[in-house]
Amino acid sequence: MPEWTDTAVILSARPHGESAIIANVLTAEHGRQAGLIRGGQSSKFRGLIQPGNLVEVHWRARLEEHLGTMQLDVITPHASTVLDNALRLAGLASVCAIMEACLPEREPARPVFDATDAILQMITSEEMGDSWIGGYVRWEIGMLGIAGYALGLDKCGVTGATEDLVYVSPRTGVAVTAAGAGVHAPRLLPLPGFLGGNSKKTLEEDLLDGMELTGHFLEKQVFGLHHQPLPPARERLLTLARKRLHPEDNMSISDAASDTAGGSPQDIS
């Protein structure tokens, strides 16, 4: 009878029958796993089985391919630490939704687990202020790379220059200098300063630009390829981030990405 014990992040839980739930978790050594938790709908488990919580999970089944059952013990109740902060709670929910949607089941993914564990700690740390959003953007860049769409933000795709990087092509995901962009600059996405861009914007504006940058490529190159929209949790996170960071004068992501049919130097857009 196969069984194992591992550290995991709860991604989701849904009711099953009258009293049980089926939980999806991201484990350190066994990848994304699902399992039945008997009595999971009871008040005893209500605070434990929340997306974002770090737990110790014991899984067992009669056969390896079966759904199996889970027993959980909380290690870090991340969700309860941000219940009074809508933006941070949305960050937790977005991380979990993207993980569940992107990762295949039962394929070991230790680097993904480590990166996810780190970003959850950043999101729930009051000492981080709003700078956790920058860490979240970097986490999404890492997820894009794992999905096979690594962004090239360290060198201009037109001139080869490594300085004065200001934009990102919404088509190729490659950085572009001001000189390389030329008259096509309005069609490109801004490269935030915290990602190596030569930005003149405030930190708050840069953080929002970063979220819109990775959101664009997640939507087009990850979820869009499977004819799926971005998870609602990710959309809510962006909405709350806009409200928090007051981006009234930011360039709209749709304006930057929608018009790519007019041509550009070396097809940069």
pLDDT 10s digits, 196-237: 999 999 999 999 999 999 999 999 999 998 899 999 999 999
Report which of 83, 73, 87 is spatially closest to residue 25, judged by C-alpha positions. Answer: 73
CA distance 150 to 164: 21
- Residue for token pair 């990850």: 222
Structure tokens at 101: 């949607």
Q: What is the DSSP letter of 162?
A: S
Phi, psi of 58 (to 5 degrees): -115, 120
- What domains sit in the chain, N to C, each tagged with a CATH number? 3-86 (2.40.50.140), 125-267 (no CATH)
CA distance 101 to 96: 9
Per-residue pLDDT of the chain (269 residues; tens, 9 = 90+): 899 999 999 999 999 999 999 999 999 999 999 999 999 999 888 888 999 999 999 999 999 889 999 999 999 999 999 999 999 999 999 999 999 999 999 999 999 999 999 999 999 999 999 999 999 999 999 999 999 999 999 999 999 999 999 999 999 999 999 999 999 999 999 999 999 999 999 999 999 999 999 999 999 999 998 899 999 999 999 999 999 987 564 444 445 444 444 444 455 55
Phi, psi of 152 (to 5 degrees): -110, 90
Instruction: Encode burial over 204-229: b for 16+ CB neighbours within 10 A, e otherwise.
Output: bbbbbbbbbbbbbbbbbbbbeeeeee
